[in-house]
Chain A
Amino acid sequence: MSTDRRTFLRQLVIGGASVSALTACGGEGSSNESSQPPSGPDLPEVPNPETPDTGTSEPENATESLSFIVIGDMGTGNIGQYHVAEAMRKIAQDQGCDFVLGAGDNIYEDGATSVDDNGFLESFEYPYQNLDMPFYMCLGNHDCASTIFGGGSDNKRGDYQVDYHYSRQRYSTKWHMPERYYQQSFGRLEEGRPFLDLFVVDSNPLTSFYQDYNSDFSWENYGYPQQLWMKDRVAQSKAHWKIAMSHVPYRSNGKHGNAGNLDEGMRVLFTNPDADGLRYKLFLEEAFADEIDMLVTGHDHLLQWIKPVESMGAAQIIVSGAAGKTDKFQDKKRNPTHFQAENELGFVWVNLTSERMQVEFYLVDEDTGDFRLAYSQDETKSVGINEAMPA
């Protein structure tokens, strides 16, 4: 890595963990019990006066670059998670990192059962203590599970992770989950367009292994409204880059597999008829296909960069589910990849500039904490920029 670039990147690093993004538009309020329809125009984008998004000397400049790390399935609280966190810290220090995306299963094995649950400390605050940057979190099946099997039948439990976002007693201000599903903007360009919009999906109610009999989380009351909200928000977004994050994969070569045919073989044990993700697959395609540049998920404890597939347009498909647990491939050739790794912990570092994305995969030794760059590749941006709506 050249010194020039490091200097360049350092200028762009966001100052602290308290940086909040310009707009935080949540999904349907499950934390505040309001049932107002989640659609509506974007909130006006108000820059946060405390922490200008470009950080340092020239706050009025347009964002030229953002870096972030993607982790998933991390919340074990084990030494492996600490080793990954330390590797992340070093990469953040050397290459820059503005924020972290947490792709779900934040607190093993069965989520948090109160806003002051020890899990927030043991699986999040302590391991990431030395990472001073915001974490944008997504709910996973274990965050909504009532047993260690991660059946995902207690979606209500995920609300505590939203509550933690608003808690005044929390250990740090890193944890960001303003709603169960939400949109988050980063950086800004001329005309006030965001540099990046992040769309976070709550996939557990759509795909859980076991049925949640709480009708608040049925497809009619939750899944489809979320789908309409997401589709609408993505379509309205004028951001230069668009990234979607969800826990359950759209495509994966691990045991959970591809949406539409999730958990083939294991599914016989499940009670939820939606466990194969047929409707979830269409959700993702309808909301994101041909709109987003990257789709990041976790759930399979692997690292994969799956090549774009026609049904999702040009989006790069990243599975980062090895920040706390590891697993092996089930079918290495199920989806063509640029890179994939099994049985090792790790994370993904991404740098976005106006025309290109650089994606790097780091593998971390669970016992020693040694880490190495396993794969790095540049991609030119290929998804068109949304034109402003004609008057």
Chain B
Amino acid sequence: MKRREFLVKGSVASASLVALSACNGAGSNEPGLTKPDDATAAENRSGAKNTIEAVQDKMPPWAGASPFRHGVASGDPWPRQIILWTRITAEGLDEIPVIVRVARDPMLRTIVHEGVGYARSDADFTVKIDAMLPDADTTYFYQFECLGHISAIGRTRTTAHAHQDVDHARLAVLSCANYPYGYFNAYRKVAFRRDLDAVIFLGDYIYEYGPGEYGDPQVEKDRPLDPPHETVTLDDYRRRYALYRTDGDLQECHRQHPFICVWDDHEIADDTWSGGALNHNEGEGDFADRKRSAIKAYYEWLPIRPVLPDRQIRIYRSFEFGQLASLMMLDTRLIGRDQQTSSPVEARDRNRSLLGADQQQWLFDSLQQSQSRGAQWHLLGQQVMLAPLTLGALPDTPNLDLGGGAQVNYDQWDGYETSRRALLGRIEAMGLDNTVVLTGDIHSSWAMDVSIDPGNIFAYNRFTGEGSLAVEFVAPAITSPAAPTKGISDLAKSFLIPANPHLKWLDFYNRGYMVLDVRPEHCQADWFHLETVSMPSNQEHFAMAWYTASGENHIQARYTPSEPKRNAPPLAPATEEAEEALA
């Protein structure tokens, strides 16, 4: 194989892979400079067969079909490091070596990294390799090899260095993909957008429900759930992820773009908080066990890099897109959330927390760091709506614990008034401009100003946006429904917009996704809505765009989508040819 000419010192032990990668990264990008006999030399020196070739030789015999049944994925991009993911399906085998190669071109001619991982039963045969790559802000292509088969070719992209000038970044923002509620047409549409830097996934990647509990019966007939009951155990969650990952649209989206993911409630159970969930009862066992299982399966199946090796529950973390933007991903669900309340009095309890003290402190420090380093935009990727959703807003009086509006959804920040005041109070105190909040969870499209007191005409002017501290864009669901008809959606809209002065636009009906266009002068969200999710469809339309100009901190409408990047790198080639066996 020609590929073998590019072999560098490989390592059988995954622990030394970093060294291998670092060597690759720091060394030449010219694969030709690494002579094939280097590998032999290494072999002789160590006495062990520390080469990719040796790994290939040690591949167990396998006569079955391609083990790459769940596709490939990448995620958590850093300037020179990225998580590469696949899963091996090969019954009867364990500890299966998997080789990955990363190249600059879609035909994998210029290899810049090779690494080895192992598919093990204790991680559900998922494989994650944290590849070190030579260049920041660069698109790469990768492919796995295992058991004599090669995977589809994946495509990914590193972020720019923090100090680098970046004049344009584009991010797709997605959430809420319920398998039996529809076809993942949105994933397919996003996969085709070749100018994206990354896909931000804001949670509800899977749903825990059993058959018939939360789905469109017509769709569910053709998309039956596995396991055929609510997910509770580790095996349940693994099977549910495996089911989702057999979906071709989702596989294609992962194959083309790096994902930056956080969970919401349905990765565990509906309306999860740190100590329980609405959709959890005693018959389902200890919630702590369920949480642990859900988290373990999440880490196995999503291309996420653990922030702390021994504390997987911590997924709040940040990314940098050069000087243009910092992205802080939050966990408003599991790590610090106090139990939901339905009482507006309790919602203002000063001891309640949505983020928990540690995460809140981390967020405030991260905002300060982002401001200090001169990042133009401060993006917060998180689950539940920050701006209030009320049936009528009044001036807020914290000292009386009154006003602020008749709130309707206490699962959102509305149920954690102290946490919201702390965050908005900090943004105000810092004089921080250009905070953009990205939200999922609610299966609908919203564009809002974020004011500390939107119902107070002295604090916030609904006509000019003056007094707004930040803006919030809410991404629609991929398949999960909100209003059953367009008419109901319009009715709700006609009531809610007057009742919520900070709310500028909403759509309760359509499924789809958001593209966030980030430039020094603006941050714009384009909503793309799908024709249908009841059947596979390639049809989408541009619904609306809202943007905030730099320094303005409030949104304005725009009736055209943002311009794509010119000369975007090619997509990874289609899978058919690539999946052939190595024979």
Contacts and interface: CB of A to CB of B under 8 A. Distances in A.
A286 B364 contact: yes
A268 interface: yes
A278 B400 contact: no
Nearest to A275: B399
Contacts of A269: 399
Contacts of B350: 260-261, 276, 278
B69 to A, nearest CB: 48
A224 B399 CA distance: 21
Contacts of B421: 278
A271 B368 CA distance: 29
Given A278-B422, A286-B364, A311-B357, A268 B400 contact: yes
A219 interface: yes
Given A260-B350, A261-B350, A276-B398, A286 B361 contact: yes
A220 B469 CA distance: 13
A220 B422 contact: no
A178 interface: no
A272 B400 CA distance: 11
Q: Which of B368, B429, B431 has the most CB of A within 10 A?
A: B429
B74 to A, nearest CB: 36
B226 interface: no
B156 interface: no
Contacts of A275: 398-399
A378 B512 CA distance: 65
Contact of B399 (A228, A260, A268, A285): A268
Contact of A219 (B361, B397, B418, B425): B425
Interface residues of A, number: 24
A270 B428 CA distance: 21
Contacts of A223: 429
Interface in B434-455: none
Interface string B413-431: 0000010011001101111
A276 B429 CA distance: 16
A275 B400 CA distance: 11
Nearest to B453: A273
A41 B578 CA distance: 60
A269 B421 CA distance: 20
A273 B399 contact: yes
A261 B349 CA distance: 9
Contacts of B399: 267-273, 275-276
A112 B400 CA distance: 32
A279 interface: yes
A272 B397 CA distance: 9
A282 interface: yes
B429 A273 contact: no
A94 B51 CA distance: 79
B364 to A, nearest CB: 7
A220 B430 CA distance: 6
Interface in B346-383: 350, 357, 361, 364, 368
A279 B430 contact: no
A151 B241 CA distance: 59
A220 B431 contact: yes
20 contacts: A219-B425, A219-B429, A220-B428, A220-B430, A224-B429, A224-B430, A227-B429, A228-B368, A260-B350, A260-B418, A269-B399, A271-B399, A272-B399, A273-B398, A274-B425, A276-B399, A278-B350, A278-B418, A282-B364, A285-B361
